[in-house]
């Protein structure tokens, strides 16, 4: 077998191993799935009572795409925590002493974490439907939205792969992720319309890729109110393209960085 199919075969073995863990430790999955449900309910009923959507749209419809985006990004931290745990327990050493592909541990890890995010999106969609969210376009467009969310989360997974290989323990990944992900997902149009934000924050929010992926999902689900206007910035006028651009940039930077770090990572 040549190098690339071999790499995917090895990655599949690693991914299978990660998925077995989800099966063996169901508590982990339960909490991963419960927190987005909680978020949807909290935001829909607490914030939803006070936040006005421009153009007179329904806040719950407005909210769901934002929560999707935030949750799949948090899902990407599992990649970092998982790798940090493998480093800590010496399993990475075992992998590195085997004649397997040098990328398989990372490709397998990020790959199996997509499964996690797919499950999360399914649960969130059901919760959303219960609180009044609707897909007002076609199945195809909705699928495109889900795909874009997963793709963006996959790219972020590689960022956390690098983080996971650099930090001393999985707890550090979780703590660090809060520091990064909260501002990243709040200074955006996820929970409130970006138009209302003060000066600098507004510019940041408009060019934040999280805003773009949220905006793209809203459009693809048909969740923008009938009279909604899209801010006149390129990133939000072309949210799908802008999101894809970020995906490409993040992968181009972090796949090589994480792979290099894996090769040199000395277990601690």
Partner 1 sequence: MPDVIRASGLVKRYGSVTALDGLDLTVPEGTILGLLGPNGAGKTTAVRILTTLLDADEGTAQVAGIDVRTDPQRVRERIGLSGQYAAVDEYLTGFENLDMIGRLYRLGRKRSRDRARELLGRFDLTAAADRPVKTYSGGMRRRLDLAGSLVAAPQVLFLDEPTTGLDPRSRTDMWEVIRELVAGGTTLLLTTQYLEEADRLADDIVVIDHGRIIAQGTADQLKAKVGGERVELVVASDAELLPARQVLAGLSVGDVQVEQGSRRLVAPVSGGAGVLLEVLRQLDAAGVAILDVGLRRPTLDDVFLSLTGQPAESSEQSDSGLVPQEAA
Which residues lie near partner 1 (CB under 8 A)?
A: 6, 10, 13-14, 16-17, 20-21, 24-25, 89-91, 93-100, 104, 266-267
> Residue 14 or 44: which CB sits closer to partner 1?
14
d(CA 223, CA 215): 9
> Residue 105 or 145: which CB sits closer to partner 1?
105
- Residue 191 CB, shortest distance to partner 1, in Å, is 35
Q: Are 128 and 224 in contact (CB under 8 A)?
A: no
> Residue 49 or 97: which CB sits closer to partner 1?
97
- Residue 17 CB, shortest distance to partner 1, in Å, is 6
- Residue 171 CB, shortest distance to partner 1, in Å, is 18
176: closest CA among 192, 159, 190? 159
- Residue 25 CB, shortest distance to partner 1, in Å, is 6
214: closest CA among 236, 197, 229, 198? 236
Q: Are 59 and 44 in contact (CB under 8 A)?
A: yes
> Residue 101 or 243: which CB sits closer to partner 1?
101
Instruction: Judge residue 77's burial from the number of C-beta atoms within 10 Å of its C-beta, 0-12 exposed, 13-18 middle, 19 or more buried.
Output: buried
d(CA 135, CA 125): 10
């Amino acid at each position: 077998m040549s190098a690339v199919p071999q790499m995917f075969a090895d990655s599949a073995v690693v991914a299978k191993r990660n998925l077995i863990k989800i099966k063996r430790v169901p508590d982990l999955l339960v909490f991963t799935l419960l927190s987005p449900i909680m978020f949807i309910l909290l935001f829909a009923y607490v914030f939803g009572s006070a936040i006005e959507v421009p153009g007179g749209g329904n806040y719950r419809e407005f909210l769901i795409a934002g929560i999707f985006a935030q949750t799949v990004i948090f899902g990407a931290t599992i990649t970092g925590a998982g790798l940090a745990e493998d480093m800590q327990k010496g399993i990475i050493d075992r992998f590195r002493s085997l004649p397997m592909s040098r990328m398989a541990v990372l490709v397998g890890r990020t790959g199996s974490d997509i499964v996690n995010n797919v499950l999360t999106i399914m649960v969130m969609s059901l919760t959303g439907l219960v609180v009044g969210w609707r897909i007002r376009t076609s199945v195809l467009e909705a699928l495109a939205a889900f795909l874009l969310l997963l793709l963006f989360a996959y790219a972020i997974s590689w960022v956390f792969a690098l983080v996971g290989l650099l930090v001393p323990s999985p707890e550090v990944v979780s703590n660090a992720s809060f520091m990064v992900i909260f501002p990243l997902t709040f200074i955006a149009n996820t929970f409130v319309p970006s138009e209302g934000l003060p000066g600098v924050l507004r510019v940041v929010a408009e060019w934040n890729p999280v805003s773009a992926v949220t905006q793209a999902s809203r459009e693809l689900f048909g969740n923008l109110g009938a009279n909604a206007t899209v801010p006149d910035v390129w990133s939000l006028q072309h949210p799908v393209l802008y999101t894809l651009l970020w995906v490409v940039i993040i992968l181009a930077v972090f796949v090589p960085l994480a792979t290099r770090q894996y090769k040199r990572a000395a277990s601690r």
